Amino acid sequence: MKLSSLCPHTGSSAANNHLRKQIQWLLFFRVLFLSLMLGVSILIQTKAPAIFLPPLHYLAYFIAGLYLFTILSALAIKLIQCYSLFGYLQITLDTLLVTLLVFFTGGSQSVFTVVYFFPIVMGAFMLFRQGSLLFATLSTLLFGALLLVEYGGHASHFVPVYPGQLNNFQMLLHYFTIYSLTFFLVAILSSMLSTRLQKAEAELFQTISDYGRLSFLYKQIFDDINTGIITVDAERRITSVNRAAERITGYEANELLGQKISQALPALETAMLHDERGHLVVIPRKNGEIIPVGYSCSRLNPADDNENGSVYTLQDLSQIKKMEAQVQQAEKMATIGEMAAGIAHELRNPLAAISGAAQLLNRENRNNSVNKRLFDIIIRESDRLDDTIHEFLLFSRPLNPVKEWFSLRILTQETMETLSQNPEWATDLTLTLDIPPTLECWADPQLIRQVLLNLTTNSANACRNMKDGRVALRARETAEAAIVLEIADNGPGIPDGIRGKIFEPFFTTRETGTGLGLAIVSQIVHSHGGEISLRDCQPQGTIFSVSLPLP
């Protein structure tokens, strides 16, 4: 016989766990029954000596042996792998032991005949209908054999004093029929009960599993949703806070739980008193930052209707407000650009005529130093105005970058060579370049050249009056598939009060500046889908950071 036929549950962890628990219960009830049987035997021998029982010390030896076997079986559970076969062996042994117990306590007249029910019921609970019927059959056969031994008069060979009341075959059939029917009736009833319990256990397990799955899904949704959720009870105390609400408010959940919402988030509670439907509120975060938050509030109606809580949903509108400001800024810049383009076209032609006439008169009056100085002023200022008009036109025209792959290091080196030819470039300025030769950028090279020119010129101007002025250009590729270009200087830095305005058109802190250099840079970077930002450089100075996405 193959092991798989004796051990049908091998490989099924759920079945093995079920059988192991059932075997443990079998061992527990065996110990409980043996202890009870020992007590009953003592009571019977002292109170009813007419009932046939073997000497008490024999019974004690028998029970002690079973105790030892039960302990060994409990230890063996940790070592065996086939719980089904182990269960069959345990219940078979119990049936044999019950037969011995019945035989030595009077046979057909024994008070322990009902103990046969124990292995039958355990077979039903451990091995279901097949097990209960199997051990009912085994109990019937063993009890029948016991009756035959008693009927044939052979019991006295084992027990000197034996009640021996089976004098005719009809009495034997009577006992055999009654007990056999009882055994099978117990087997059928216990198997039905076992099947129902098994079904109820399976349904309970499925319910617990579904509850656990739904609970996990709810917790996952509650924690991972981008909308902040805060629930309060009838006393307005906070009962739950999800991660999004933690990010929005800046508080940890354990800092809010148990507090009244009027104390933890007074701005939210005050806004609700004026508008129960909810709309927009400005709340201070834990770090003092003020942020706009969209909110709504709904009543929670539990099933028992004893308590009515509320749930608040929060949405951080900082990015939306920022985008609205960017749209307004873009519209403002578009309007200014259109105006600048119109003015530039109107001024450029007369300005060219003035510059040309001044140059002609300058050549004809070379000997007149006063006139020459005045003509030089006219020509210089005309050139400056022409440069300003050129920036106006560059800023006002729509940008459609023609992207291609190019070496950022080579483009930067060419730009630096162009700047070094400018007579206004400070000769004592230290310029360093830290860009990998293999770094490729995906952008419009002409527009990026303009970005490099404007930002480097801006940093150089910041260091103009310094003896040890330094400008550093560095670039790298990030894990977010972007090229980050940084231009750092050790100048005096940019005051906090004007940082929000430096990218606005016509804003400048220099007398000779047009206020369009950084505005053009911002326009070019955003046309590439990138971002530009600035931060302080330690111990002093400013770092402009340009991020350009890669395809």
Asked if residues 180 and 187 have their Cβ atoms less than 8 Å apart, the reply is: no
Q: Which class for 484: exposed (0-12), middle (13-18), buried (19 or more C-beta within 10 A)?
A: middle
Burial of 164 (0-12, 13-18, 19+ CB in 10 A): middle
Which residues lie closer than 8 Å to 416 by C-beta, 6 or more apart?
431, 433, 456, 473
SS3 532: strand
Enter the tokens of residue 225. Answer: 């949703």
Could you tell me the residue ranges of all domains in the chain? Answer: 3-206, 227-316, 322-396, 404-549
Query: How does the average pLDDT of the chain come out, rounded?
Result: 78
| Cα end-to-end span (Å), the chain | 67
* CATH fold match for the domains 227-316 and 404-549: no
pLDDT at 5: 43
Tokens at 15, concatenated:
């079945």
Architecture of domain 227-316: 2-Layer Sandwich (3.30)
pTM: 0.44
165 band by pLDDT with thresholds 50, 70 and 90 = low
Q: Which residue in 75, 72, 119, 83 sits closest to 3, CA to CA?
A: 83
Give the lowest-confidence range in 50-59, 96-105, 200-209. 50-59
Maximum mean pLDDT: which of 22-31, 56-65, 105-114, 237-246:
237-246
CATH number of the domain at 404-549, out of 3.20.20.20, 3.40.50.150, 2.60.40.10, 3.30.565.10?
A: 3.30.565.10
pLDDT digits (tens, 9 = 90+) for 24-56: 777 777 777 767 766 766 676 566 555 555 556
DSSP one-letter string for 455-486: HHHHHHHHTTT-TT-EEEEEEEEETTTEEEEE
Q: Is the pLDDT of residue 381 over 90?
A: no
Give the mean model confidence (pLDDT) for residues 168-178. 86
CA 177 to chain centre: 66
- Spatial distance between the Cα atoms of 326 and 345, rounded to a whole number of angstroms: 28
DSSP letter for 237, please. Answer: B
Among the listed residues 135, 71, 128, the one whose alpha carbon sits nearest the alpha carbon of residue 97: 135
